[in-house]
Every structure is written in structure tokens, then in C-alpha cells.
Amino acid sequence: MSIFETASNIYPRSIEQRLQIENLIAPAAIATSRLTEGKDAIAGLTQTPKTLPPRYFYDDRGSQLFEQICELPEYYLTRTETAILQKYATEIARLTGACELVELGSGSSTKTRILLDAYHKLGYPLHYIPVDVSAGILESSARQLLADYTTLKVRALASTYELALERLAPTLLPSRTICFIGSTLGNLTPSESDEFFARIFAALEVGEYFLLGVDLQKPKSVLEAAYNDRQGVTAAFNLNMLQHLNWRYDSNFDLQNFEHWAFYNETEHQIEMHLRSLRSQTVQMRSLNLAVEFADRETIRTEISRKFNLKTLQQQLQIQGLIPIQTWTDTKNWFGLLLCQKK
């Protein structure tokens, strides 16, 4: 019997009774992931220009640095989205009705609390399925949530988004909402996001919901400041990717030999973060059997962070069968939150 089926009546249930954790990355999947592990890094570092996937930002230290970024005065994203959620969470809960909340890239689940509060106030049962690749942050945030919300039930999935979307069990509540907030969509290229929307569509039943938070186009100066903060936290976050690779792939990147570089590409409407080599050098990635050569000033692109136009995005979602039924923004139109419904 799954935790969602146990009838709870007289006694409040313990955290253990309300928590289920599944690791879809390890250990069962380890044999297959070993073979493919690092393939994406090899592919990115052997092409011109060099790239690395943003998922390598998020080791434990990287996740901590990202939490610090969210508090920076220049990084308006988290603050703005939080304000929108605070203002409209009740309306969102009313529109979806009682539903299971699935969150892709749940991290610390801080913003999710706003939604949980709204559903709780309307008397709806709380079923939450956080999905994150970082098993550590996933379990600690789930436990904290369960301690704070005594009726909440959590099924946490340590998983990639793709795998988790394929493994969702039928919901026991009248509906389901898949949340993808925090503008993580910005990390995907336009074709990758189309593919992603198709996976969301496939994971939903007709009438179910998709809640999407995205950063919007705005003056270059505001955007560039957000990715070049004065305290240098974003630079440390970017450089930490090399530290992570050193550990994961027995490599010898010398962090002194690279610098953070971020700018707004106005043609593509995206922030690009790069690491620039400060000299010509060769880096050994021993467990990948790879020697990477850098020319002086050559860069690795570590992230794109796309900035969206609401009209265009609404059209794209519509085409993918995810019909935007309500869109909210802040007074400056800096950030957008869209509630879509599968038709």
C-alpha cells in the first residue's frame, strides 16, 4: 500500500509514515548510468565553441551557492516570482481545485510553501511530489516540509525530469499540477523546450495543469547586473562547476586559470555564462580519458538563461496542447507565471 492510500483518521501520522523517497538515479540505474556518465561533458568539451551542461553546477556546494544567489540584491528573479506567488496562490488553488503537486527541480522547496499554504487554507489534501537530481537537498527539504505541514504526504523522486515524468503513478486526487517554476525553462534551447513541453503533455491527463514560471525580456543593464553581482557569488557559482568536474572526473582544472564571464545576447534574448581560460593550457580529465586543450581567452559556455516574451511563449504552449488559462506578472512585467491546462 502506498503512503497516499493509507487512511489517516485519529492519530497524526509520523514523518516516516508520510514520506516515501525513490531514487531513480542510483543504485538500480547505476550500471547504465556508468556507461553514459560524462558523455555529455566529453561531447561539450570536444566541440567548438566548448560548452558544458548546467546540471554540473549543482553539486552540494553549487546548490548552496545558488541559494545565496537567490538572496542577492541584483538577482531579482526569485524575489519577483515569490511576490507573484504570494499574491495569486489562492487564485491558482481555486482554479486547479484539489490536486497533487509535482515539482520539477524542487531544490529547497521554499516557493512551494506558498502554494501548499493556499491549498491547505482551502481545505484541500496536500500531496507533493518533489523531483530533483540532488538527493541530499531533496530529502532534507522533504523532511522539513513534513515537520511543518502535519497532514502533508510526500513522494520524493531523486531523478532527472524525463525519468520522473515517465514514472508518475496515477494521482489519487481529482487532479494534478506539474510545477516548473524558477525560470529553469531558460536553460533549454527552443527545440529542447518543445521536446520538454511534449513530455509534460504526455505526463498529464486531459484537464490537468502545468504551472510555469519564466523570466521575461527587460533592459540589458538589469539582466547583466543579475549575473555579475558585486559580491562575486555568481562568479563563484560558475567557477565551482570546474571544482565539481575535478572531483567527479578526477580532473585538474586550476580555478586560478579561468574567469567568470556573463553577458546578454540581445539577438537570442539570452544571458550566456562562460568560463574564460586566462592562458593556453591543457587540462587532464583522467576518468574520462580526455585531455582538453584551451587557447588563451578561449571560453566554455556553461549556461544559457533565456528571457521570454509572454505572447510568444503562450503561443508555443498552445501549439503543444498546453492551453494557457491564466497569466500573472509583477508591476514591472519582469517575471511571468502561467497556468496551463491540457486540452
Work out whether 63 is an interface residue with ligand AVJ (CB under 6 A): no
Torsion of CA 149, 151, 156, 161, to 10 degrees: -90
Q: What is the DSSP string of 225-257?
A: HHTS-TT-HHHHHHHHHHHHHHHHTTB---GGG
DSSP E strand stretches across the chain: 19-23, 50-51, 99-104, 127-132, 153-158, 175-180, 209-215, 258-265, 270-277, 281-285, 290-294, 299-306, 322-329, 335-342
Residue ranges in 10-39 that form contacts with ligand AVJ under rule CB under 6 A: none
Of the pair 130, 182, the CB lying nearest ligand AVJ is at: 182
Is 234 a binder of ligand AVJ (CB under 6 A)?
yes
Nearer to ligand AVJ, 63 or 251 (CB): 63
Alpha carbon distance 46, 68 (integer Å): 32
Residues 271-330 that bind ligand AVJ (CB under 6 A): 303, 305
Q: How far is the CB of 271 from ligand AVJ (least distance, A)?
A: 7
Instruction: Closer to ligand AVJ by CB, 17 or 64: give it.
Output: 64
State which residue, 4 or 227, has the beta carbon closest to ligand AVJ. Answer: 227
Q: Tell me if 240 contacts ligand AVJ by CB under 6 A.
A: no
The verdict on 134 binding ligand AVJ (CB under 6 A) reads no
Q: Which stretch binds ligand AVJ (CB under 6 A): 179-187, 241-249, 275-283, 316-324?
A: 179-187
Q: Is 62 in the site for ligand AVJ (CB under 6 A)?
A: no
Q: Is 184 in the site for ligand AVJ (CB under 6 A)?
A: yes
Q: Are 259 and 228 in contact (CB under 8 A)?
A: no
> Stretches 115-123, 182-190, 202-210, 277-285: which one binds ligand AVJ (CB under 6 A)?
182-190
Backbone angles phi, psi at 24, to 5 degrees: -90, 0
Closest CA to 100 of 163, 42, 143, 153: 153
Q: How far is the CB of 199 from ligand AVJ (least distance, A)?
A: 18
The answer to the question of residue 182 lying near ligand AVJ (CB under 6 A) is: yes
When the beta carbons of 127 and 274 are compared against ligand AVJ, the nearer one is 274
Q: 214-235 burial, b for 16+ CB within 10 Å, e for fewer?
A: bbbbbeeeebebbbbbeeebbb
DSSP string, 32-76: HHHHHTTHHHHHHHTSSSEE--GGGG-SHHHHHHHHHHHH-SS-H
Residue 229 as a binder of ligand AVJ (CB under 6 A): the answer is: no
Nearer to ligand AVJ, 107 or 285 (CB): 107
User: Which positions lie near ligand AVJ, rule CB under 6 A?
Assistant: 69, 77, 182-184, 186-187, 227, 234, 303, 305
